[in-house]
Structure formats: C-alpha cells, structure tokens
C-alpha cells in the first residue's frame, strides 16, 4: 500500500476509507468515501477516480469521474464519489480477469496532491459472471 503526494510539506493523509459495495457484480454501482487531512488549504480541490486494468502487454485507464471542485481548508476534510455503474465491460475479458486498480487522486486545480490506490480483484463465478473485490489500503 502506498500513497503518493505532490506536496513539498508533510503532505495530506487518509484516516478512513470506504469503497463499496464489495464482493458484487463488477458493473454494480460504486461509492467511495474518505476522511482526509491536508496541511494546507486547497482552493480548487477535487477528486478524480479511475479504474486501471494493467497486464504485461496492455494498460487500460477508464475515467470513472470526478467530484466538483471546492475549497478544502487546512485540516480535516471528507470526500464522497458515487457512480451508478462501474462501466468497464467494454474492456477485454482477459484484461478484466486480473488484478487492477481503482485510484482516487486529490487535485488542487490541475496539480496532483495525493493518489490513493485500491487493488480491485476481478474473478468469474462458475457461470462466468464477473465479480469484484476492492481491497482497502488502510486495512
């Protein structure tokens, strides 16, 4: 588990993270919530969420969306991202049936401040339907 930060000072930190539902059909809705602390004000803070499917021969990045830009004052903050479906079924099945990442990147304008990677394991059930398991990097 790692968090990357573009801030020169001590950097932001994540104190709580929830991603779900979990252990469900791959394409089901997704809700991501985090509690975080930033050591400085972010006047144009937003979160960008992506799904990254990476294999030895290919890397596919699917933009899932972003939160609206807002002012995050120095200190504690909260984020919530929701999407009605995880629309990645256009990717090849061989790419999906692997370990991928969902990343949540805190931005201040166009500057990346923090990236939170969450491992997503996609597996087929006995009927071939794809299911996802999202691993919380704080656990």
Q: Are 88 and 62 in contact (CB under 8 A)?
A: yes
Nearest to 134 by CA among 103, 88, 106, 90: 103
pLDDT at 9: 53
| Chain centroid offset of residue 54 CA | 15
Give the SS3 label for residue 114: strand
Count other Cβ atoms within 10 Å, centred on residue 123: 14
Report the alpha-carbon distance of residue 95 to residue 113 in Å, rounded: 29
Instruction: Using alpha carbons, list the distances in angstroms from residue 115 to 3, 43, 68, 69.
Output: 6, 18, 17, 16
Chain segment 71-115, per-residue pLDDT in tens: 999 999 999 999 999 888 777 777 777 778 999 999 999 999 999
Extract the tokens encoding 133: 């398991």
pLDDT at 55: 73
Report the alpha-carbon distance of residue 16 to residue 93 in Å, rounded: 32
Report the alpha-carbon distance of residue 18 to residue 7 in Å, rounded: 24
Q: What is the pTM of this model?
A: 0.86
pLDDT at 5: 44
pLDDT at 14: 94
Chain segment 8-56, per-residue pLDDT in tens: 457 889 999 999 999 999 989 999 999 999 999 999 999 999 998 877 7
């Amino acid at each position: 588990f790692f968090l990357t930060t573009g801030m020169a000072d001590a950097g932001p930190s994540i104190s709580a993270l929830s991603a779900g539902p979990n252990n469900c059909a791959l394409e089901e809705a997704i809700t991501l919530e985090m509690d975080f602390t930033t050591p400085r004000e972010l006047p144009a803070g937003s979160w960008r969420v992506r799904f990254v499917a990476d294999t030895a021969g290919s890397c596919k990045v699917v933009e899932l969306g972003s939160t609206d830009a807002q002012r995050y004052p120095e200190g504690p903050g909260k984020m919530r991202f929701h999407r009605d479906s995880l629309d990645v079924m256009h990717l090849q099945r061989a790419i999906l049936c692997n370990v991928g990442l969902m990343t949540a990147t805190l931005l201040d304008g166009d500057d990346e401040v923090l990236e939170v990677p969450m491992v997503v394991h996609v597996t087929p059930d006995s009927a071939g339907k794809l299911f996802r398991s999202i691993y919380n990097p704080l656990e």
